Amino acid sequence: ETGVTQTPRHLVMGMTNKKSLKCEQHLGHNAMYWYKQSAKKPLELMFVYNFKEQTENNSVPSRFSPECPNSSHLFLHLHTLQPEDSALYLCASSQGDRGSYNEQFFGPGTRLTVL
């Protein structure tokens, strides 16, 4: 285990549903990330939070809404998704120190299917 947990592991939702993905890290890290992993595409960075502040938003549609209440927890709120949003959503964390190279530790992911 990497020290990063994600729930649920699998989620099926309709396009009109609202759901949330949860990530928790037990590593004492300060930075947390959301990635999207689709078939035939490289891992895509969605959001980065460092010390609870959002530092990156890679042009992600507003139907994805992140929330970081503290350095250990990260949520991804989902609303009116499209079938093409079906993918594996991965959470990661890292030390978050500026001036250092930060190895990222990944959770197991949530397999999302949008019907």
Residue 15 Cβ vs another protein, minimum distance, rounded to whole Å: 26
Q: Which stretch binds another protein (CB under 8 A): 12-20, 45-53, 70-78, 79-87?
A: 45-53
For the CB of residue 106, give the shortest distance to another protein in the complex, in Å: 3
3-state secondary structure (DSSP) of residue 84 = helix
Q: Give CA torsion, residues 56, 61, 63, 66, to 10 deg.
A: 0
Minimum CB distance to another protein smaller for 31 or for 81:
31
Q: Which of 92, 93, 112, 114 binds another protein (CB under 8 A)?
A: 92
DSSP 77: E
Which residues fall within 8 angstroms of residue 95, CB to CB, at 6 or more apart? 29, 30, 31, 102, 103
Counting contacts by CB under 8 A, is residue 107 touching another protein?
A: yes
Does the footprint of another protein cover residue 31 (CB under 8 A)? Answer: yes
| Residue 97 contacts another protein per CB under 8 A | yes
DSSP letter (8 states) at residue 71? T
Q: CA 9, CA 96: separation in Å to the nearest integer? A: 26
Q: Are 69 and 52 in contact (CB under 8 A)?
A: yes
Q: Write out the binding residues for another protein, residues 71-90 only, by CB under 8 A.
A: 90
State the number of binding residues for another protein (CB under 8 A): 29
Site residues, another protein (CB under 8 A): 2, 4, 31, 33, 40-43, 45, 48, 50, 55-56, 90, 92, 94, 97-109
